[in-house]
Amino acid sequence: MTCRSERRGRGRSLFLVAMLLAFLAAVIGRGVQLQLLEGKRFYGAAQKQRKRSIPLVSNRGNIYSRNLKELALTLQVDSLYAIPNELEDRKAAAKTLARLVSVDQELIAKRLSNGKSFVWIKRWVTREKAQQVRDKFARGIDFAKEGRRFYPLGSLAGQVLGFAGLDGEGLEGLELAYHRIIRGRPGSLLAERDARGRFMLPGGTKVTGRIKGHSLILTLDKNIQYIAEKELKRGVIAAQAKRGNVIVLEPASGEILAMANWPPFDPNYFWKYRASQWRNLAITDMFEPGSTMKIFTVAAALEEKVLKPTDLIYTEQGVFRIGRRVIHDVHPYGWLSLEDVIKVSSNIGAAKVGLRLGRRRLYRYLKNFGFFAPSRVDLRGEEGGLHQPLKRWSNITIANISFGQGIALTPLQLAVGYAALANGGFLMKPYLVKKVVDDKGRLVNENRPQVVRKVISTNTSKLVRRMLMRVIGPEGTGRRAKVDGYAVAGKTGTAQKPSRRSRGYAPGKYVASFVGWAPAENPQILILVVIDEPRGVKYGGVLAAPVFKEIASQTLAYLRVSPDRLNEIIVETEAKDQLTVSRYVPDLSLFSNQDKELITMPDFRGLTLRQILELASHKGIQIKTRGSGIAVWQKPTGGSLIRLERVGLVKLSAASRVTLRQKN
């Protein structure tokens, strides 16, 4: 019996030991599992219980002009928040905060009593207000540093820059288009809590994970942008117009130097403006281009060799019937050369050119000039133009489109198309952002000039340029765009606005425009001016051309573009009390096909000084005169071929001298 009892006792002991060992093994195994295998997960869960992460506004990169002037930057400002559990008297706190930071007291009281452990009171508090709050509260109220977007030049280029909202999200303009690049990493406010979930203050919060975004260097020139906005404002106010816009770009590269809109808006206070004022009219608003379209029709005809500059077109004395429709000219004309069609801006002449060209060729060239698709500029919300499908183009459709009706473009599309005329026939992709750099200034990306396609030949571009230079002459519709010291090429436009309520056009509503470049032979800048819904006078040559002149003259001087005193006539009286400067364009029909440097010398004998000036201006000859009288002798003789650099003399009966110098 004793042996059996001993065996039973040892068995129980062994069982207990085994159970104890198994329990210890389970505990150790569970400990290993918790510490080694699942330690990170439980640590993260504990951190979530102990800490709270509140997202902050991102520290966006800066935006600079091409001159490296700051157009948009991010400032670190205080944002006010509350820990309601730390406040002894929430009603009193709401009353005090409402008085100090100008927030509705009931709204603050509601936030403090909504049961949340963290609430924002006001974002972006001034330094003075923040100090006043700190002086009043020891617990439960604190500040976090957040990035606030600031535009140091106010409304300058406001529609181009756009703005970022209170949450740091880009909402308009470049701020929206490049949001992902310039936003950076927002970061968060990390605060510790006790076992009851209360935030532990002071010193219990910190900002983590914030990385500044990349910065943009634009093609915009701050000074040219200022010039464009200043002169556009004057032009719109003088015309009593509804709105207007200006584009200045480099024809050779497609870089946009200025993009101005009126009325403006200040992105620092974007909430104070109507949403319509945020729009960048250059890319969002379409209009019928009117007479500015005629040169594209003529360029297509020249490229296809349908017509030559000197070919004559009968313009029907101002009334041209196509089926049941009638096309009118402002002034009645008979036979006009192709270049005169552009100079006097004949609707009938352009319509006949388009009809001779045909719908398929006209459509192809307009498409190649970029008028039926967005230009792909680096902005959001760009429109692509409006037109009827090609299969619906009747003769009246062709005629209307040829002189700028029945087709709608954005200002940027029109400017880019003219740039192709100016630069030798290359359609360039326009762009606003030149470089992207990181917060250390290192290059991340760079945009370079990009040729979309070759539209017309270099020779056609030269012919078109000479035609547009005649528009600026004394008999052209764009004479008010003349810039002293520089040859200018350009075209006026006056277009009716389609009615929004019915078919046809709205009575009394027009768009006046002018687009051109300078210097004409070596284009450095191209400028488009659009004046929308002026009152009274409606013509682009009267309203938009003077704005072009002011912007061009100031911009050329700013860029230090040397004057090209070509084709000038300087008239000085014998007493030196009068000085007149004018500019004229050579008559291409006078040039020999074999030698483009030769020109026929006019015969000035028997002409008065005034008649000499008139004839010389028609031939594009530069004249310097002193005195008065009738021409009795000249060298070289009339009818002889001279080279462009030759100098001629005309002797007047009053023994005065006239010096003739042909354009280089």
Q: Mind listing the pLDDT tens digit for each residue in 299-337?
A: 999 999 999 999 999 999 999 999 889 999 989 999 999
DSSP 448: -
pLDDT tens-digit profile of 159-174?
999 999 877 788 999 9
**pLDDT over 60 (residue 1):** no
Tokens coding 161: 């820059």
Between residues 55 and 487, which one has the greater pLDDT? 487
> Which one of 111-115, 142-146, 200-204, 283-287 scores highest in mean pLDDT?
283-287
Q: Which residues of 576-606 are buried (b: 16+ CB within 10 A; e: fewer)?
A: eeeeeebbbbbbbeebeeeeeebbbbbebee
Sheet containing strand 256-262, edge to edge, reads 256-262, 243-249, 525-532, 505-518, 489-498
Residue 579 pLDDT level (bands cut at 50, 70, 90): very low
Listed in sequence order, the residues at least 6 apart from 548 whose beta carbon sits closer than 8 Å to its beta carbon are 481, 490, 514, 515, 516, 527, 529
CB 164 within 8 A of CB 60: yes
Per-residue pLDDT, 575: 35
Torsional sign, CA 563, 569, 573, 579: negative
Residue 54 pLDDT level (bands cut at 50, 70, 90): low
Give the whole-angstrom CA distance, residue 92 versus residue 97. 9
**pLDDT over 90 (residue 155):** yes
The amino acid at residue 22 is A
Token match 């945009």: residue? 447
DSSP 211: B
Sheet containing strand 631-635, edge to edge, reads 579-583, 568-572, 621-626, 657-662, 647-652, 631-635
Give the whole-angstrom CA distance, residue 114 versus residue 380. 40
* Residue 442 vs residues 67, 214, 220, 563, 662: alpha-carbon distances, Å: 17, 10, 20, 38, 52
Per-residue pLDDT, 72: 95
DSSP 397: H
Residue 211 pLDDT level (bands cut at 50, 70, 90): confident
291 is catalytic: yes
Give the whole-angstrom CA distance, residue 149 versus residue 60. 8
Q: Which contacts qualify for 301-305: CB closer than 8 Å, 24 or more apart?
A: 301/338, 301/353, 301/356, 301/357, 302/338, 302/456, 302/460, 302/463, 302/464, 303/365, 303/456, 303/457, 303/460, 304/357, 304/361
Per-residue pLDDT, 78: 82
User: Residue 132's Cα: distance from chain center in Å?
Assistant: 43
Mean pLDDT of 355-384: 95
> Which one of 50-64, 161-175, 333-347, 578-592 scores highest in mean pLDDT?
333-347
Per-residue pLDDT, 65: 96
Per-residue pLDDT, 265: 93
- Of the candidates 437, 410, 418, the one whose C-alpha atom is nearest the C-alpha of residue 63 is 437
Residue 375 pLDDT level (bands cut at 50, 70, 90): very high
Residue 662 pLDDT level (bands cut at 50, 70, 90): very low
Give the whole-angstrom CA distance, residue 421 versus residue 465. 7
User: How many percent of the chain have pLDDT more than 70?
Assistant: 77
Between residues 263 and 51, which one has the greater pLDDT? 263
Mean pLDDT of 559-572: 57
pLDDT tens-digit profile of 419-456?
999 999 999 999 999 999 998 889 999 999 999 999 99
The single residue of 291, 337, 402, 582 carrying the catalytic annotation is 291
Secondary structure class of 562 (helix, strand, coil): coil
389 burial class (0-12, 13-18, 19+ CB within 10 angstroms)?
exposed
Per-residue pLDDT, 286: 94
**pLDDT over 60 (residue 30):** yes
Give the whole-angstrom CA distance, residue 662 versus residue 18. 119
Give the whole-angstrom CA distance, residue 466 versus residue 478. 14
SS3 of the chain: helix, strand, coil, percent, to 5: 35, 30, 35
Answer whether 0.85 is exceeded by the pTM. Answer: no
Give the whole-angstrom CA distance, residue 64 versus residue 182. 12
H helix or E strand, kind and range, residue 106? helix 105-112
CB 346 within 8 A of CB 315: yes
> Which one of 64-78, 161-175, 242-256 scores highest in mean pLDDT?
242-256
**pLDDT over 80 (residue 4):** no
- Of the candidates 273, 58, 250, the one whose C-alpha atom is nearest the C-alpha of residue 168 is 58
DSSP count for the chain of H helices, then E strands:
19, 31
Average pLDDT, the chain: 82
- Cis check: omega of the bond before 519, within 30 degrees of 0: yes
- 221 phi-psi bin (left φ>0, alpha ψ -120 to 50, beta other): beta
**pLDDT over 60 (residue 580):** no
Give the whole-angstrom CA distance, residue 295 versus residue 81. 62
Mean pLDDT of 484-492: 93
Per-residue pLDDT, 171: 92
**pLDDT over 90 (residue 47):** no
Residue 185 pLDDT level (bands cut at 50, 70, 90): confident
Per-residue pLDDT, 118: 80
Mean pLDDT of 405-412: 94
Give the whole-angstrom CA distance, residue 228 versus residue 552. 9
Mutual orientation of helices 294-303 and 411-422 as an angle, nearest 10°? 40
User: Residue 315's Cα: distance from chain center in Å?
Assistant: 38
**pLDDT over 80 (residue 587):** no
Tokens coding 24: 């210890």
Residue 22 pLDDT level (bands cut at 50, 70, 90): confident
CB 261 within 8 A of CB 245: yes
Give the whole-angstrom CA distance, residue 490 versus residue 655. 40
CB 284 within 8 A of CB 159: no
Residue 34 pLDDT level (bands cut at 50, 70, 90): low
> Which one of 114-128, 160-174, 402-416, 629-643 scores highest in mean pLDDT?
402-416
Per-residue pLDDT, 359: 93
CB 481 within 8 A of CB 516: yes
Give the whole-angstrom CA distance, residue 527 versus residue 557. 15
Per-residue pLDDT, 420: 97
Span of 192-201, 221-230, 337-346 with lowest mean pLDDT = 192-201
